[in-house]
Amino acid sequence: MGNIFNRLITEPIEDFINKVLLFLPNLFSSILILILGILAGWVTKQVLLKLFRILKLDELSERSGINRIISRGGIKSSLATLIARFVGWIITFGFAIIALDNLRLPAIERLFESFFLYLPNVFIALIIIVVGLLLGNFFGRTALIASVNAGLKMSGLIAKAVKFSIFVFALSIALEQLGIGKETVVIAFAIVFGGIIFALALAFGLGGRDIAKEFLEKKLKGEEEKKDEISHL
């Protein structure tokens, strides 16, 4: 009876205690590594900030227009702060990975494996979104200026549509890259765009019927509005 009790209750508890005792040093060293990582990240950030101040990186990025590009992307920090913060986080993150690895838990090891395999996708998706944002801003402004110069009353709307379309397109590619709802994203994208075009066609068709009629009449009857004859050059 005592033997059975030992095998069923005492041994597992001893086993567990042994495992915990074996795991504890790893846990403490991991916590220590993590704290060291946070410290190292913070110190690196401060050192880099000082170094960039000496190197006048902010003045350089202001002069070259990089700060403006960043702020237009909705980020308020300067280039120097961004780099310092990023490097600091990378260091902390590196230490955190070492700390987790130090725990030697099979579940975490498997998680790491799949995480590291997935990480490039996240990185590429992020780049796609950033590029999409920048391109959206650029082409949105191109469309805005061109349509204003063409005298189109809906310039603002056209610019927003261009900007939004590019961003949605980038987002759909990024999601596809991440493998999130591969088919769904493409179908949703097609439906949204098809819907927009259909809505515009309806709006123009119904709302602009008179304008189209007037335009065609002018064209066919040669009653076009008289153009300016100023020679600008």
Partner 1 sequence: MPSIILRKDIQEKLDEVRDADILVGIPSYNNASTIGHVVKAVQAGFAKYFPDKKCVLVNSDGGSTDGTMDVVRNTTLEDGSTILFSHRTNRILTIATPYSGIPGKGSAFRTIFEIADELNAKACAVVDSDLRSITPEWIELLIKPVMENSLDYVAPLYHRHKFDGTITNSIVYPLTRALYGKRVRQPIGGDFGFSGNLARFYLSKDVWESDVAKFGIDIWMTTTAMANDFKVCHAFLGAKIHDPKDPGADLSAMLYQVVGATFDLMETYPDVWSRTHKSVSVPTFGFHYDVGLEPVSVNVERMIDKFRLGVKELIQIWKEFLPGEVIDFLVKAEELPKDKFFMPDEIWVQIVYSFAIASHKKVINKEHLLKSLTPLYIGRTASFVIDAWESSAREVEEKIENLCLAFESRKEFLIENWNSFGESAGGGE
Binding residues for partner 1, per CB under 8 A?
59, 62-65, 68, 138, 141-142, 144-146, 148-149, 151, 153, 155-156, 159, 225-233
Which C-beta is closer to partner 1: that of 10 or that of 64? 64
**Closest approach of partner 1 to the CB of residue 46, in Å:** 25
Which residue do the tokens 């600008």 mark?
Answer: 232
152: helix, coil or strand? coil
**Closest approach of partner 1 to the CB of residue 173, in Å:** 24
Which C-beta is closer to partner 1: that of 153 or that of 221? 153
Which C-beta is closer to partner 1: that of 55 or that of 111? 55
Amino acid at 76: K
Which C-beta is closer to partner 1: that of 210 or that of 229? 229
**Closest approach of partner 1 to the CB of residue 79, in Å:** 14
Tell me the Cα Rg of the chain. Answer: 30
Query: Backbone phi, then psi, for 76, in 5-degree steps?
Result: -90, -15
Which C-beta is closer to partner 1: that of 74 or that of 106? 74
Which C-beta is closer to partner 1: that of 143 or that of 174? 143
Q: Are 34 and 100 in contact (CB under 8 A)?
A: no
**Closest approach of partner 1 to the CB of residue 63, in Å:** 7
**Closest approach of partner 1 to the CB of residue 56, in Å:** 10
d(CA 201, CA 222): 27
Token output for 124? 């590429």
**Closest approach of partner 1 to the CB of residue 62, in Å:** 6
Token output for 117? 């395999």
Amino acid at 164: F
Query: Backbone phi, then psi, for 20, in 5-degree steps?
Result: -60, -45
Token output for 205? 């068709």
DSSP state at residue 119:
H
